[in-house]
């Protein structure tokens, strides 16, 4: 029996092989860091599971021992990754994105400048606003003067002049 080939339909061209992704190979340092993280997670999970047992009820010595072990585990882990260079020695200096300073000028003219964080700055400004409001005079004469200035200068900068 003879096989017949139909010459009118061309044979499909073979598809080129796809390129396979290359695995990233880790350096020895990266392997050591990964192993440290894996071990840390395993030991931490084991301690946390032990804390859930009946023997570790609130106020027991075994619970206290596990909590101390957990705390020491965290301290040792951070110390080790700092030694390995994963974390900088001073994390706070690495995470600061802005520096805010507050200056105080005394009556004699001397200036004292000190660094503050956002919360301290907010608290200082609130205290200053309260003191300012206390010092503002609210007598009827002051209100009349304010009304006169408002009428004279209030909206003239914003409104167009009338023809």
* Domain-wise residue ranges, the chain: 28-89, 100-153
- Segments of the chain scoring below 50 in pLDDT: 163
- Provide the pLDDT for residue 99: 81
DSSP single-letter state for residue 102? E
Q: Quick one: how far is CA 116 from the chain centroid? A: 18
Give the whole-angstrom CA distance, residue 92 versus residue 21.
39
- Provide the pLDDT for residue 159: 52
Listed in sequence order, the residues at least 6 apart from 115 whose beta carbon sits closer than 8 Å to its beta carbon are 99, 100, 101
The C-alpha angle with vertex 70 and arms to 67 and 75, in degrees rounded to 5, equals 125
Residue 48 host element (H or E): helix 28-51
Total number of residues shown for the chain:
163
CA dihedral 12→17→18→19, nearest 10 degrees, is -160
- Provide the pLDDT for residue 49: 92
- Provide the pLDDT for residue 90: 75
Give the whole-angstrom CA distance, residue 130 versus residue 110.
24
- Provide the pLDDT for residue 69: 94
């Amino acid at each position: 029996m003879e096989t017949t080939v139909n010459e009118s339909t061309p044979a499909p061209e073979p598809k080129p092989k796809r390129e396979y992704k290359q695995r990233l190979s880790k350096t020895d340092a990266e392997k050591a860091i990964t192993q440290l993280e894996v071990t840390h997670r395993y030991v931490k999970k084991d301690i946390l599971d032990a804390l859930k047992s009946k023997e570790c009820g609130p106020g027991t010595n075994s619970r206290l021992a596990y909590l101390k072990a957990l705390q020491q585990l965290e301290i040792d882990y951070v110390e080790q990754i700092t030694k390995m260079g994963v974390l900088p020695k001073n994390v706070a200096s690495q995470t600061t994105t802005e520096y805010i300073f507050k200056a105080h000028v005394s009556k004699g003219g001397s200036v004292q400048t000190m660094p503050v964080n956002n919360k301290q700055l907010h608290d200082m400004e609130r205290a200053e606003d309260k003191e300012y409001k206390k010092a503002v005079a609210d007598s009827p004469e002051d209100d009349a003067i304010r009304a006169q200035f408002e009428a004279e200068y209030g909206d003239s900068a914003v409104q167009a002049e009338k023809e």
